[in-house]
Structures are given as structure tokens and as C-alpha cells.
Structure 1
Amino acid sequence: MDARDLSDAELERQGTRAHATRNWVFLHGTADQFRHHTERMLELEQEYLRRHPKRTWQGAGGDAAPVDRVEQIRHLLRTFGSQMEGLLAELAEAQAGASSAPAPLAAEAGLLARFAAAPDGRMHKLEAHQAARELGLRPADVARLYTQQPPLLATAGPDRFLTEDGRRRLADLQVSPV
């Protein structure tokens, strides 16, 4: 079925499945399976991006021209390589016993401010993760905003929202010299 004809839930389910099976197809599939898998995954990603441009960095660029399939694959490979390098660097840092420094206050304030500016202080989880990446917050720093006592951010299904304590913390950060 064409990706445009899928419901939002089915599009997300198929996209998640495509990403989950990517490594197996790459390592064990035939060349034809790999080619088909790549084409389908890119089709699903492009449709998701068309429907939800603010949930990924790819949609944040404004009115970019459509990219051909070869360039999409090159971009996917570059992204995969840089993500693997990042994961390896994080692993090396963790193995070296690096201490987890607290999140920079300016980045924390920036994320809380984005939540405050969103309707009802809520953002879809993917938009929230993207905002955190744009601000340079590490996943551990973002997780701490949900787990500290009292929590500054909370979850409700696929949404993330700013708590009252988060609003107070934002006001403190904006008043206090950083």
C-alpha cells in the first residue's frame, strides 16, 4: 500500500518496524530485499515528514526542494555513520568513568521556555526530543528533567508537558543571572 494511503497510526507502525528490521536486512537479507527495504523506509519517512514537519530536524529547514533518492540514501548513510560515532564516543566516555555534569542552565532554560511557549505547555514527544537536540542537551540531562524531584517535565501519552514546578524553575532561571 502506498504510504500516502496509510493512517497516521499505520504509518508510524510501519516506519517503526522498518527501522527495527533495518540491521537484519542489511546483514542477512538479499540485495533485492535490501533495495526494497531501503525504498520502503524512505517512502515512509518522506510521508511522515510531509505530515509532521515539526517532529524532525528535516522538516525544520523551511521550503527545501525535494531531494532525489540517491541523495536521500547518501544522507541516511552519513547520518548513520555520525550517529554511530556519537554512540561510540558516549560509550568510551562512560567506560572512562566520566562524571555526568549537570545540564547547562541556559540550555535547560531554553527547553523549558519552548515548552512554555507551546500551546498548553505541551509538545509531542518527538518535537520535545528535537528541541532538546537543537539546544545541545544530552539525553541524560533531558531525562533528569522528568525524574528529579519535583519533576519539571511530565508525560501524557505521546505528549510531554511543563509542570507547575517547571514553570517556577523557568521563572527562576530567567530572573537569576546565568
Structure 2
Amino acid sequence: MTSAAKLAIYNFGLFVASYDSPAVEGFRLREPANFSAAECAEGFIGRSGYEGEPGPESWGTQVFPRFINGSGFEWAPSSLSLWADLESLMAFSYSGVHADALKHAKNWQVEKQWPALVLWWSEGRPDWAEAVERFEYLHDHGPGPRAFHFKDPYGYDGERISIDRTRVRELAALNAERHKHLMSHVLSMKV
């Protein structure tokens, strides 16, 4: 793999109730703000949309990991996106608008018996099927160059790496400036 590779992320969860229920309203209200915050975050490259919905093109047919089986749901919250590097993604994920959503996720999603997310390096645009395959691989085999997470990251060369925490803080500060209006809006929302 070359340094032209981009960081792919896929995440998956299950709601405590149907998407349109009052129990999940806090998620529903925050979802557009999270997408907007990602799109103007430092290091964001692009994200898959969802078939039949306005917004970005879907990167293939959306599929779900086996953990949806027996849940009673045919659809579950998941996202697939590309980022410039680990630090950019971490700065977005764990600060600001997205961090607020993570803080409240236990109100909307069932406790996970699977990884929260999977990361991998991609030289092209991944699709949903590849994302799900890597997600299940991480669950079944643990982190490695093929599928990993923030706690045990790998570089595009397949070697373990360390995340530059100073750069993460710098990027988070840049994003905070860009997301001021979104953050004040999100903080006024129902949980």
C-alpha cells in the first residue's frame, strides 16, 4: 500500500427502539449536525450516503454485519467515510459535535457486543460490503493491519503506529472554530 491510501472508517450500532420513536429523537436531531460537522472537519475526504435518500451517493448497496440478526431491525445506524489520517478522524470523533453525540449514545443505542468501529487503509473508495467484512473480521480476529481501531492503530505500511496526540489537539481546536455554530445548536437539543 502507498502513502496515497486514505483512512476508512465504518461504525455500526443498534437502536433501543425504532428510528422514528421518541426514545431515539436525540439521535435523529443530531444526525444532520454530525454530518455537517464531518464535512467541514479538517482531514475529511468523503462519506457514503444511503440509497434512496438525499445527499451523497451511496458507496454500493448498504449491508449490515451479522450482529443485526435477531434484533428485530432490518436497518441500523451505520456510517462509512474516508479521512486523510488517524489524527484528523480522532480529532473529529472525540471532540465537539460528534463527542456530544457519543456522550449520549447510551440513551439511543443498545450496549454493543461488537466493536464500535473498524478502521483500515484504502487506496480507493470502499463499499458497504467491504466495510462490513472488515468489521466482522476485527470482531473475530482482533486488530491488525487489515482491520483495527484507535487503541491499536496500524499505518498504511501494515506496521503498528502511535497517534500524534498533539496534532489531534491542534486539529480539534481548528474544528472547534469551524463548528461553533453547530456546537451551540447541538447543545440546545433534547437528549
Give the TM-score normalised by structure 1.
0.30
Q: Which has the larger radius of gyration?
A: 1
Higher relative contact order (CA 8 A, sep 6+): 2
Looking at secondary structure, tell me which structure has more strand per residue: 2
Looking at secondary structure, tell me which structure has more helix per residue: 1
